[in-house]
Amino acid sequence: MRSIWRTLDRGLARDIGLVCLADTLVGVSYGAISVGSGFPLWAPMLLSLLVFAGASQFMFVGIVASGGNPLAAVAAGLLVNARHVPFGFAIGDVFGRGRLGRLLGSHLMIDESVAFALAQRDADRRRAAYWACGIGLFACWNVGVVLGAFAGTAIGDTDAFGLDAAFPAVLLALVLPSLKDKTSRLPVLIGVVIALAATPVLPAGLPVLLALAGVVAGAAAKEPEQLEKTR
């Protein structure tokens, strides 16, 4: 574990620290929204420890709080987390070969830790970024959820504070830097268009999965360019 922290340079450690700080605030919003929606104090804390997937947790709370069936909420969460399948193929090398490392690594697989890992070109830096971000976010997220859960008992209308916008704002901040790369803009834009078009007509969770078509389209568009370069 020491080698992981030694591999991080100051800039990467700073960026990870800022994301951890932002996710702490998102965790506060999740805890407050959950308890404010009528969930018992322990529910958001238990979900955060066992699930540790912000999008799925927010979706579960939103569906159940609006009167939806808990089983439907679980199914929607699983659909959203299906994006972790391609994530696993993309960064599976950072887990190591041991069963314990793979188990813990898969539990820490969230958008932010994957994004930091994929941004590194060196294998050691990829591994260090993934584990540092994953461990840091797991700790900060759960601390934030505990604080938010207790705050939720005192806050009546959580939407009035804009807490529901915290999670999308963090994800947007992670995506924006990648748009500087020309090859990344096409799949992102295609995914955004698909998600926006599907949101009014499909159940929650499905638009996110359909947006993965942008990755396929981006790969298809990139293949002819690579062929041209090899000639």
Q: In which band, very low, low, confident or very high, does the pLDDT at 136 lie, cut at 50, 70 and 90?
A: very high
Q: What is the pTM of this model?
A: 0.69
pLDDT digits (tens, 9 = 90+) for 18-31: 888 888 888 888 88
Task: Report the candidate in 38, 75, 77 with the shortest Cα–Cα distance to residue 55.
Answer: 77
Comparison of pLDDT for 76 and 220, the residue scoring more: 76
Cα–Cα separations (whole angstroms), residue 162 to 33, 88, 159, 179: 10, 33, 5, 26
DSSP 58: H
- C-alpha 12/C-alpha 221 separation (Å) is 31
Structure tokens at 77: 């969460």
| Highest averaged pLDDT of the listed ranges 28-42, 88-102, 170-184 | 28-42
Question: Which residues have CB under 8 Å from 27's CB, separation 6+?
Answer: 48, 54, 140, 141, 142, 143, 144, 145, 147, 148
CA atoms lying within 13 Å on the CB side of residue 191 = 19
Q: Average pLDDT in the 99-112 region? A: 85
